[in-house]
Structure 1
Amino acid sequence: MSTFPTNILILGKTGAGKSTLVNYLYGQEIAVARAGRPVTAKGLHRHEPFPYRNMSIVVWDSWGLEADKAREWWDSLQEELVRQSGRPDVRDWIHTVIYCFDAKKSRLEEYEQEHILKPLIAMGYRLIFALTKWGLCSSQEKNAALEVLGSAYPGFSCIPVESVSQKLRSGRATEQLGRNDIFREICLNLRSNLMYHLRIRTRTEMKEAIARAETNTIRVFDRETGFFTIFGDELRTKLEDTARQNYLREIRSVYADLRDSLTLIDRMCVEVIRGYTGIDVSEKLQGLHRLMDDIGDTRIQAWSSGFEEYAATIITTVISLGLFAFIRNDTYRDGFVKRLREVSVRLTEDLESFAASLDQAESGVEEEIAKKLNALR
């Protein structure tokens, strides 16, 4: 079995068909929305992992969404999602969100849009809309359901689903529908959701790392200086070395975490897609690693293994003030802090350039994977 679980969050209004959808997709009698171990005080639940093909599937569900509890419902869900995405291991994050939409009713309530769907999208989750009870719908109802979702959420996947094969009173029989299409979208969404949240986390952590390096360097300045300090070349050299070491240590740590997380996401992506579809996409994932390896040849080399030379150039250039002996401590400190802020700004600008390059490369990777998966249709 794969060492990587696929964490699936199933949402929807009461009676939208969450339980039957899971049973149809995985052939498992998971009592969605009625059992499971509660993770928050309110009703977000994690069910025990179960094997499917060569994977481990973890289904999360919530108490049924209803109008009079929509705000309470969202507060509970949001708290858990924030907690999940803050975990250091991407295997613990929510990988895919499936929203069950009753196609026969063909309407979106204002409360489910304002309190659930729009906030989820704002958090970076690319939803899969499962149009449940499709086999029970008339042609008019089907068209209306597609129009409602297509108008409100263009660009999001809307998958017609019939989870149960049954004979109706009219004599017509419904046929199960949508499993392979849902699986294909899970494969695409897993990578898209993980990469989005990884980029957000990396930006935040890198900015925090730069701020820590600046603060720690100033702290050393305050500890090493006093009324009788001689502000000359010896002190300047010591401060340059301190700044270089602080910035280098902090940024390297975040950069190493990024590489490790990216490698893990790539492995998850390959194994999950192989598990659901049998397709091998490993050759499609080389571009990002080449970008990471070759980044020392660009303006954003601050985040490469050649950071020492880069940092030395920036810090020496910016911090060196043409200092003289016996300058007042407060004057020197103000100038030193100003120069450190300039270093932080320069590094933050390069971080954004680096992130933009990764975003562009990732778009190409996801496009190539989508082409390969769409060929299955």
Structure 2
Amino acid sequence: MDQFAINIIVLGKSGVGKSSFCNYLFDQAGLFETGSGKPVTSWEKNFQSHTFEHQGHLLNVFDSVGLEADNYERWLKQFDSFMQQRRARPMEPETWIHGAFYVINASSARLEPVDVNLIKRLGQDARIPLQVILTNADVAGDKVEALQREIHHLCPGVSVTPLCSVSVRRRGGQSTQAFGRDEVLSLYLEQSHAFLSKRLAAMSCLNFKGVLREMRNTVVAKIEQADLSIFRIADLDLDTEIELPDFDEVFSDLKGFDDYLSSFGFVGDWETSDELENAVTRVFDDFQGEMESRFKEIEDGFESDSLLRKVGALYEAAKIILTLKSTMIEWLDEGFGRVHAALDQLFIKYAEDDNFFASHLKGCVLIRPKLFGIF
């Protein structure tokens, strides 16, 4: 099985220590070029990535040009283009952006409107895991707590992690050790697992619906092509007349929720997998029970002492026989429709207010639209 990389973007104004943070976080001394308050990532290298391995996970880290007053419009245009490209294939999770680090220099003790705007765009609009990293936390003193309070006030729910990315020996023999790396990575992987679990579960609902839709169309085509005339009803062998597809083969290309999580290096042990399978199985079992009850009711009618019930049973049986094709298709659509409705409810639960799949949903072709709540 191919291993997918977790895609991370690193953003922030020039001179806040993005490159030093990346070198420290991913233990890659010198790979990310550092400078002294000046832009070191060129526009040609904007949003280019470096790949690392950490605790069994592949990490793709996309570095960015530092934000400055005179490049904001250009930077924002490239950022929006980059994010749009990463949303272009919503059914391919390896192309998504899975999280972001927004870096602020804690010693500056300033949270500017551009910072707040981008933090909100990432956390609230893009709905991806986000950590605000406060660099130079070793020398910032009380400014760190003040910045944390301000960020939590203006951007509720955003995680803020103080960090020092370099060890420094100061006058008098004192030294400052780098800190924060383990806290940042541990929290990020926890956030990433939760994020991927929900979004992959929503995607699995759509994948499942697509496979069921193809299966339904294949079975209906078989029914419509079959010779089910009333004159052959006594000799009719449906198994021979309607050769159904191999359902194992139909579902073989449907990559499971657990498989996707494993591809990103996470153990697929969340309840979501069982919830998806149980929901579909329960609907099919309930529908099968109802169908058996319908036929049992007709059978009981024929065996009844009541003439009225016998006539009613004969009428129901005749109606089924005379309209066998349309009846079979109607029952099929009813069963599949119920499964789709159950998947709709699960999709709403998993996606919540994340509109990431909106463009994909617009292109869905539905069998019977009135049965589907959201598509």
Task: State if a TM-score over 0.5 links the two structures.
Answer: yes
Residue in structure 2 matched with residue 269 of structure 1 by the alignment = 266
1:148 offset after TM fit, Å?
A: 2.1
1:131 aligns with 2:134: yes
> Is the counterpart of residue 19 in structure 1 residue 19 in structure 2?
yes
Structure 1 range deviating more: 113-122 or 146-155: 113-122
Question: How many matched pairs?
Answer: 319
CA 1:85 to 1:117, structure 2 compared with 1: closer, same or farther past 3 Å?
A: farther
Describe the shift of the 1:107–1:197 C-alpha distance in structure 2 as closer, same or farther (beyond 3 A).
farther
Deviations 1:333-356 (A, max 9, x none): 5x6665444223311233357779
Q: Which amino acid aligns with 1:98?
A: F
- The one-letter code of the counterpart of 2:137 is W
**Retained in 1: the 8 A contact 2:107–2:140?**
yes
Q: Secondary structure at the match of 2:63?
A: strand
State the 1:61 CA deviation: 1.9
Aligned-CA RMSD value: 4.9
Letter in 1 for 2:157: G
Distance 1:165 1:68 in 2: 36
Amino acid across the alignment from 2:48: H
Quote how far apart the aligned CAs of 1:312 are.
5.5
TM-score (norm: length of structure 2)? 0.63
Q: In the aligned structure 1, how far is the partner of 2:159 from the partner of 2:116? A: 16
Cα deviation, 1:248-289, whole Å, max 9, x if unaligned, reads 7655653x5224224445xx236xxxxxxxxxxxxxx75649
One-letter amino acid of the counterpart of residue 201, structure 2: R
> Quick one: structure 1 residues 75 and 230, their matched pair in 2 at CA, closer, same or farther if it must change by over 3 Å?
farther
2:259 is matched with 260
User: Equivalents in 2 of 1:99, 1:310: separation in Å?
Assistant: 50
Is the contact made by 2:11 and 2:18 (CA closer than 8 Å) also made in structure 1? Answer: yes
**Amino acid aligned to 2:336:** S
TM-score normalized by the length of structure 1:
0.63
Post-superposition offset of 1:178: 1.4
Q: Write the mapping of 1:1-377 to structure 2, written as runs, cut at 5 A.
A: 7-28=7-28, 29-31=30-32, 34=40, 43-47=46-50, 49-50=51-52, 57-65=59-67, 66-69=71-74, 71-83=76-88, 86-87=91-92, 94-114=97-117, 117-139=120-142, 141-166=143-168, 175-224=177-226, 237=238, 245=245, 250=250, 253-254=253-254, 257-265=256-264, 268-269=265-266, 288=271, 292=274, 300-301=280-281, 322=317, 323=319, 333=326, 339-351=331-343
Equivalent AA in structure 2 for residue 78 of structure 1: M
How far off is 1:21 after superposition?
Answer: 0.1
Amino acid at match of 2:86: L
Contact 1:95–1:189 (CA under 8 A) maintained in structure 2:
no
Question: In the TM superposition, what is the alpha-carbon distance from 1:224 to its structure 2 partner?
Answer: 4.8
SS in 2 for 1:347: helix
Quote the offset at 1:43 in angstroms: 3.1
Question: Which segments of 5 or more consecutive residues in structure 1 lack a partner in the other structure?
Answer: 271-284, 360-377
Provide closer, same or farther for how the CA distance between residues 164 and 353 of structure 1 changes in structure 2, counting only shifts above 3 A: same
Is the deviation greater in 119-128 or in 314-323? Answer: 314-323
Q: Per the alignment, do residues 55 and 237 of structure 1 end up closer, same or farther by CA in structure 2, a change over 3 Å counting?
A: closer
Which residue identity lines up with residue 197 of structure 2 in the other structure?
M
Query: Which stretch shifts more, 130-139 or 162-171?
Result: 162-171
Deviation digits for residues 173-221 of structure 1, max 9, x if unmatched?
A: 6542311211221231231232122112112212222333333344445
Partners of 1:116 and 1:340 lie apart in 2 by 48
Q: Offset at 1:125?
A: 1.3
For 2:73, give the aligned amino acid: D
Distance in 2, matches of 1:314 and 1:71, equals 57
